Amino acid sequence: MIDDLEPVALRDLKALGAPRSWQVDTSLDQLPSLTPVRGSLSAEHKGNVLAVEGELQTIVTLTCDRCLGQFNRKLSCKPSELIWLGKTPPSDFQLRESDQISEPDGLVECLDPRGTFEPRQWAFEQLSLQLPVVNRCGEDCPGPSIPSRQANHADPDPRWQALRELQWE
């Protein structure tokens, strides 16, 4: 179970000298989902960087931006990330000297080397990145409901009448 996904001190990961692995089977409070988040993740302290990778999946209910209907969407990812261990982003010199970093462009995150790694937060962030920017229920989306003309005859607010006349022409 993922209940042991409590923050782990980076010094403990360093002392371990091998990857720390977690089996994931839980819900995340910040990400309401229909099914538990399932999968695995591991983190390994590699000197100047923390190498984190995982395989996560769940199903969430979203609201279509077009028809406002609800639909389910599977979220799954196999993220892999190097996190710089330092209070500030690495300098060019540090990047060149690090034997763990071959492509510095993907190195975005920083953790305080005396701090902790939070696997639960990392899993939430990776799955959140899989959420669509625009929610569409699918190819067969009926679109917004259009009221019939007869339903508009007794409209309580006459200020909208000019717009309605443009809409139905």
pLDDT band at 77; cut points 50, 70, 90? very high
How far apart CA 121 and CA 50 sit, in angstroms, is: 15
Bridge partners for 43 per DSSP? 20, 52
Would the pLDDT of 45 be above 60?
A: yes
More confident residue, 44 or 96: 44
Dihedral in degrees, nearest 10, Cα atoms 54, 59, 61, 66:
80
pLDDT score, position 2: 40
pLDDT score, position 151: 52
- Report the length, in residues, of the chain: 169
Would the pLDDT of 66 be above 80?
A: yes
Strand ranges in the chain using DSSP code E only, listed in sequence order: 8-9, 20-26, 37-46, 49-63, 70-77, 80-85, 110-111, 116-117
pLDDT band at 1; cut points 50, 70, 90? very low
pLDDT band at 154; cut points 50, 70, 90? low
pLDDT score, position 162: 78
More confident residue, 163 or 40: 40
pLDDT band at 3; cut points 50, 70, 90? low
Question: Which tokens sit at 25?
Answer: 């089977």
Is 33 within 8 Å of 25 (Cβ atoms)? no
Dihedral in degrees, nearest 10, Cα atoms 135, 141, 144, 149:
180
